[in-house]
Structure 1
Amino acid sequence: MRLDDFGQSSNVRNRRGEGGSRMGSGGAGLMFVLIRMVMSRFGIGGLVVLGIGFFALQAIGINPLSSGGGTQRASAPQTSQYDQLVGAVLLSTENVFTEVFREEGIGDYPEPVLNLFAGRVTTRGCGSATSAVGPFYCPADSQVYIDTSFFDELGQRFGAPGDFAQAYVIAHEVGHHIQNVTGISDQVRRQQASARSEADRNEYSVRLELMADCLAGVWAGRTQIQLDPGDIREALGAAAAIGDDTLQRRSGGRVVPDSFTHGTSEQRQRWFTTGYRARDISACDTLGTDQL
């Protein structure tokens, strides 16, 4: 992809390093001892000087009372090599689906917030999560959550490198946002609640995931980002790498179709390709077809 001249979405939130350096119980105890010593020897004037010195250090990012021992810099939001890609791809999905919603007469496209985190994140609607769950969408707060270390894992562990493989992941999560704001997710949850078996409930989950793959394909077919030769192959490689059958084989287990929740590698590739070629969300009706 050529991102140099492409803009950045204003809906990306960098939440890496949230919390920063805090004063632990040891730091609080030390502060209490210092106050008593200064007050007993220098009175209120010494206490004022102590306070000025403490806040001066804090102002330059040093916490002299950090519980980790020694001085620490106050934490600041981290960045990664992927931040530009995330911002550009999210902006492109906003442009594409604003146009699609207008064409389909759906109304205004409500742009999702995309949160970048490192290690762990607390959502407003789905509780806390770690990077182990991978990228995810929280329907309760209509936000996407991504630890960009997953992009390294995608290339190194799953053998699906490339910037468009990463873009596919972002667009897939945006696909779940579209399902949420159009009421499709609620419809499927009601159907799952009345399903007769776990296998039936899993099939509804597969249909949702394949629809999100197809919507990612619609984005890829309509994006204004300049693509390089091989970009679509990268997306298809990522779709294949995280198919249920491929993941079960990779883990050394038996392939159990009734346990699938996302679809096979072949299905994920095929539905992405369907959206890419059609460039139309009506082609993504995975709920209304007998043939997945």
Structure 2
Amino acid sequence: MHSRVAMSVVTGTVLVLVAGCGLIGGSGKDGGTFKAASTPSVTPSSETPTFSPTPTVSTPSPSTSTTPAEPPVVVANRTVTQNRLYRVGAVPASRCKEPTERATSVAQVRAYYTEFVHCLDRAWAPIVRKAGYTFWAPKVEILVGDQPRSQCSITDSAAYCGGVISLKADFDLKNQRRDNKLWTRATMAFLVGHEYGHHIQRLTGIMDASQTRTNHTNGTDAQLLESRRIELQASCFSGVYLGADRKYFPATGAWLKKWNWMVANRGDEWNPTRSHGNKTNHSRWSRKGFGSGNPAACNTFAASTASVA
């Protein structure tokens, strides 16, 4: 899963260096590279300026005071830890059932994800708007073979970049052929929910704010810690949707058992970059989202370092 902003990240079995492109990856951050605005050049005028012999100087009123602007990192800290999204309540059930398509062909994979994203739109749109943000649906692209992503060059199985959720059909087709069919379905539901979680981060300013925080950190360890916070939150948001819609999906019985096993065995311990969180914490945050159905349960930015290791 992958989302990416100015840094890359990774996701579990699919974890790859993000996260606007988001982890378990458009990084967890938004796709594209964020650049500081360049300083405009000023060309001196060729004309000789004229001055009034008795210039008038206006003196500010003693009662007028200028409040200095808050440093960007202060605003960013508040955006990620006190976001309005955490105060709007539970996500409403989309009342969507699990898509009936199975990963037996590229067309079936495309149909599954297209239907799933429409359901995610239905559930998240009212919550984003209630929090005071503008909602717009992400685009979805299904890739085959070495087909490049339209928004970023990351090669993991799923990613979010520049408002586009990219999913590689090859990954799902292989899982369907070689692995447990129920595990394949649970993994597909998790992946698309995770990348959509990065989209929610973008819509609510969390993604940009996290990038600002990353730009103000010193050292790789601090940057990876920030990456894990945004990636684990995306996994928590994935759980939120399934938890909200569990009765209709339905996320129960054998399906839920397989989903729980899958999120509990998706970690980045094997990856020296440690950008997505270990399997224990990944399971904890995914299950927190599912159990609550509420984005308030996903405030990874206010959590202890140990809980996002």
Identity %, equivalent residues:
21
Q: Kindly provide the CA deviation profile for residues 30-52 of structure 1, in whole angstroms up to 9, marking residues without a partner as x.
A: xxxxxxxxxxxxxxxxxxxxxxx
Other structure's SS at 1:146 match: strand
State the distance in 2 between where 1:151 and 1:123 align. Answer: 17
User: Is the counterpart of residue 90 in structure 1 residue 186 in structure 2?
Assistant: no
State the distance in 2 between where 1:80 and 1:228 align. Answer: 27
Q: 1:146 corresponds to which residue?
A: 167
State the distance in 2 between where 1:240 and 1:158 align. Answer: 17
User: Is the counterpart of residue 118 in structure 1 residue 118 in structure 2?
Assistant: no
Q: 2:199 corresponds to which residue?
A: 177
Task: Give 1:241 shift.
Answer: 3.4
Q: Kindly provide the CA deviation profile for residues 188-245 of structure 1, in whole angstroms up to 9, marking residues without a partner as x.
A: 1111112111011001000011000110011001124333522223333332333112
- Select the structure that is richer in helix: 1
Q: 2:254 corresponds to which residue?
A: 230
State the distance in 1 between where 2:178 and 2:276 align. Answer: 19
Task: Give 1:101 shift.
Answer: 2.1
What's the C-alpha RMSD, in Å, of the aligned pairs?
A: 2.6
* CA distance 1:158–1:200, shift in 2 (3 Å): farther
Which structure carries more relative contact order (alpha carbon 8 Å, separation 6+)?
Answer: 2
Question: Which amino acid letter does the alignment assign opposite residue 243 of structure 1?
Answer: G
State the distance in 2 between where 1:235 and 1:80 align. Answer: 24
**1:217–1:275 Cα contact (<8 Å) kept:** yes
**1:165–1:236 Cα contact (<8 Å) kept:** no
The structure number with the bigger radius of gyration is 1
User: Is the counterpart of residue 101 in structure 1 residue 128 in structure 2?
Assistant: yes
User: Is the counterpart of residue 243 in structure 1 residue 267 in structure 2?
Assistant: yes
Q: 1:50 corresponds to which residue?
A: none
State the distance in 1 between where 2:234 and 2:287 align. Answer: 12
Q: 2:31 corresponds to which residue?
A: none
Matching residue within 219, 244, 249 for 1:197: 219
Q: 1:266 corresponds to which residue?
A: 280
Q: 1:215 corresponds to which residue?
A: 237
Q: Kindly provide the CA deviation profile for residues 216-275 of structure 1, in whole angstroms up to 9, marking residues without a partner as x.
A: 011001124333522223333332333112x45xxxxxxx5xx31000111111101111
Matching residue within 287, 290, 295 for 1:281: 295
Matching residue within 111, 135, 138 for 2:158: 135
Gaps of 5+ in 2: 1-96
Question: Which amino acid letter does the alignment assign opposite residue 268 of structure 2?
Answer: D
State the distance in 2 between where 1:268 and 1:3 align. Answer: 25
* Aligned counterparts, 1:13-28, within 5 A: none
Q: 2:57 corresponds to which residue?
A: none
TM (norm. structure 1) is: 0.62
Task: Give 1:96 shift.
Answer: 1.1
Task: Tell me how many residue pairs correspond in the alignment.
Answer: 204
Task: Give 1:153 shift.
Answer: 4.8
Gaps of 5+ in 1: 7-77, 249-255
